[in-house]
Amino acid sequence: MMLCLLLTAPYLGGEMHEVRESEIPNAHSMVRKTVRRKVKVLAPKEQSQRKERLILKGDILHMPMPTMDTESKKFYTLLPVAVNGFCSGSSKLAHFVRKTLWNSGLSKKATRSMVKSFFPSNSAVRREARRRGLTTGVILEEYTSRQRILHRYLSSQLHFNWLETFVEQAKMFEAERLVKLEEIDKLGGYIGIIETKQNYASKLKTIRAQKASALKGVREKFERFNEWSKASPKTVTPADLHRWKSFDETMIGKQKSDIAVIARKQLASQNSRIEERYDEEIDAVKAELLTIVTEHSSQPATIAYKEMRSLEESVDYFTYLAENAKIHLDITLVENEASWMNPVSSRRLDRDYYFLSCLDKAHENTEVLPILHHPALINYHDDLTHVTPSVLADAMTESFSNDEIFCEIPRDTSMNKLKLRAMKYDEVKELSLAYGLPTRLDNIQCNRKLDADELVTQFTESKVILGNPTGVLALLGTEMNQAHREGEVFKQRWVGDIYSFSAPSHAKDTKNKVDSRLAALAAKLGL
């Protein structure tokens, strides 16, 4: 008891400096206190609502709100921007739902139970499949459709309000990107370090080839001179003056061995001079390359190119956000009916969303209109068929394949290089754009405009390639021909069951058959 009083004396009113040495933590401060959070016990009515809806209307206030950094222009959200597949309990969507329910006051146990039923594990999916006598893929498709519809509903509450901001940011960054592109063009274009190294490697290869050729010439001359010096006669004759241009009349009658000694020294000296000259050129090119590589990152064109690529990434980023923030469904109806809890309704809405989004993209000319004319895709029912290439192939009992190239049409030969080179740069550029040809190089290695010679070469060497559709596309053409009675018109004029650029006319087909029979008869008779 005495010890306890002594230790607590400073806290009872004594001076701290008097008993500083006896100051130690008390027993209560050594225990880590647990801060308890108020949780809400679900009433039977609310528990029933949770099982039927999972997300209630009042939960919107408890959702973690997204924000945007004003400096970095980065959008931060706990809700995933897009859901492209099945989400397990460890996914971002499941974490967002858990966070929302937790913020609404639900206990961890109740939250875990609710979320687990909507985001099952793989083993739970397999058990559900065995219980219902279905495949695992079918069960996964059900949960995936429900999760997608739930995500779109949550996204409509959080991300849709940011749609105008995303569009404005994309436009702003695109305008800045165009300015940087003009700056790059004014600086003469950007050439990447890889292409620069390749150009200098080619230059070094050329110099080394010239050096080897020059040394080979000296070596061959040395060998010829050595053979001459050992051959008879042993003295220089007037005929040798024509063979060796460096000889003069004073050398006639002199010993070849004496002249050979001097000549060998001259050839050796010439060999050394050649090596020294070309080595200096190689060293100069290497030094120039080293300087370019060292200063490449600090060049104005490189800096502008990196800034332009960064702006491109920002444009793609906000375009992606804007695309996924759009609403293609009646969200009010989805909210009232809690469509994310009904597998059949979710599947239908998910499929409708696919069609509407594809049509929207086609209207904006961002994507080609998908194949919607096939009966299997138009008259769909409440089955598990989704619009995918594999489903289309299965519906047609075929597979996708590339077109068969049968015809290559060169450009107009009347537009020869001389006429094209006489045109102004803007005229050649306009002609290239009219024919669908690129006017600039834009890849990892470089970003620059094509010059006039490159545009002319590209135009004269390019071809128009025609091909016949095969596989699914060929069968789809047949289906469309039958539906629109276009096949009848085709068969009236040409031979074949599907459209083909190489299909012969009926007259030509008859002639070919007659010629074939006559050729077969001639071959049979040995003619």
Whether residues 177 and 196 fall in one domain:
no
Asked whether residue 279 carries a pLDDT value surpassing 70, the answer given is: yes
What CATH number should be reported for the domain holding residue 259? 1.10.287
Is residue 244 located within the same domain as residue 162? no
Instruction: Give pLDDT tens digits for 101-122.
Output: 998 888 888 888 889 989 999 9
- Our CA dihedral for 450, 454, 459, 463, rounded to 10 degrees, sits at -100
What's the total number of domains in the chain? 4
Strand partners, 433: none
Residues 221 and 123 reside in one and the same domain: no
For the stretch 207-245, pLDDT in tens is 999 989 988 888 888 888 788 887 778 787 777 766 777
pLDDT band at 154 (very low <50, low <70, confident <90, very high): very high
* 396 and 474 Cβ atoms separated by less than 8 Å: no
Q: Which domain holds residue 7?
A: 1-33
* pLDDT value of residue 392: 56
Q: How far is CA 489 from CA 240, 406, 481, 512, in A?
A: 88, 23, 9, 22
- One domain, residues 76 and 177: yes
Comparison of pLDDT for 527 and 377, the residue scoring more: 527
Any domain includes 370: no
Under a CB-based contact definition with an 8 Å cutoff, are residues 499 and 481 in contact? yes
> What string of DSSP letters covers 251-318?
GTTSBHHHHHHHHHHHHHHHHHHHHHHHHHHHHHHHHHHHHHHHHGGGSHHHHHHHHHHHHHHHHHHH
Of the listed ranges 147-151, 446-450, 478-482, the one predicted with least confidence: 478-482
User: Does the pLDDT at position 25 exceed 70?
Assistant: no
With a cut of 90, say whether residue 46 has pLDDT above it.
Answer: no
In a domain, 375, yes or no: no
Q: What pLDDT does 124 receive?
A: 92
- Do 321 and 162 meet the contact criterion of CB atoms below 8 Å apart? yes
Q: Is residue 301 part of a domain?
A: yes
Q: Residue 359 CB: number of other CB atoms within 10 A?
A: 15
Lowest mean pLDDT among 11-25, 249-263, 281-295, 309-323: 11-25
Single-letter amino acid, residue 231: A
pLDDT at 456: 86
Q: Is residue 386 part of a domain?
A: no
pTM of the predicted protein model: 0.58
| 219 torsion bin: left (phi>0), alpha (psi -120 to 50), beta (else) | alpha
Q: What is the pLDDT of residue 34?
A: 44
Let me know: does 344 contact 483? Beta carbons within 8 Å: no
Tell me: the pLDDT tens digits for 495-516?
A: 876 666 678 888 888 898 888 8
At residue 38, does pLDDT exceed 60?
Answer: no
Same domain, 293 and 350: no
Q: Is the pLDDT of residue 311 over 90?
A: yes
Instruction: Give the pLDDT confidence score for residue 32 in this predicted structure.
Output: 41
Residues 412 and 452 grouped into a single domain = yes
Residue 260 lies inside a defined structural domain of this protein: yes
Same domain, 74 and 141: yes
Q: What is the pLDDT of residue 76?
A: 93
* Domain co-membership, 104 together with 209: no
Cα angle: 81, vertex 84, 88; to 5 degrees: 95
Last residue of a domain, one of 357, 386, 421: 357
Q: What percent of the chain has pLDDT over 90?
A: 18
Cβ pair 464, 408 in contact under 8 A: yes
As a whole number of angstroms, the distance between CA 268 and CA 264 comes to 6
Over 80: is that where the pLDDT of 204 sits? yes
Within a domain: 378: no
- What does the alpha-carbon distance between residue 108 and residue 41 come to, in Å, rounded to a whole number? 10
d(CA 150, CA 135): 23
Per-residue pLDDT at 424? 86
**74, 68 Cβ separation under 8 angstroms:** yes
d(CA 144, CA 138): 10
- pLDDT of 375 above 70: no
Q: Is the dihedral of CA 306, 311, 316, 320 positive or negative?
A: positive
433 plus 338 within the same structural domain? no
- Burial of 346 by CB count in 10 Å (0-12 exposed, 13-18 middle, 19+ buried)? buried
Same domain for 213 and 170? no
Question: Is there a domain that residue 138 lies in?
Answer: yes
Asked whether the beta carbons of 351 and 378 are under 8 A apart, the reply is no
What is the predicted pLDDT for the residue at 524? 81
Longest dimension (CA), the chain: 135
Across the chain, mean pLDDT equals 77
Confidence of residue 488 (pLDDT cuts 50, 70, 90): confident
CB 95 within 8 A of CB 54: no
pLDDT of residue 257: 77
Do 118 and 159 share a domain, yes or no? yes
Asked if residue 332 and residue 441 are part of one domain, the reply reads no
Phi/psi of residue 321, nearest 5 degrees:
-65, -45
Decide if 349 contacts 339 (C-beta within 8 A). yes
pLDDT of residue 75: 92
pLDDT, tens digit, for every residue of 87-98? 999 999 999 999
Q: What is the pLDDT of residues 466-480, one digit of tens each?
A: 777 666 666 666 666
The Cα–Cα gap between 350 and 343 comes to 10
Residue 283 belongs to a domain:
yes
H helices, E strands: number in the chain: 21, 7
pLDDT in tens, 47-78: 677 778 888 888 888 899 999 988 888 899 99
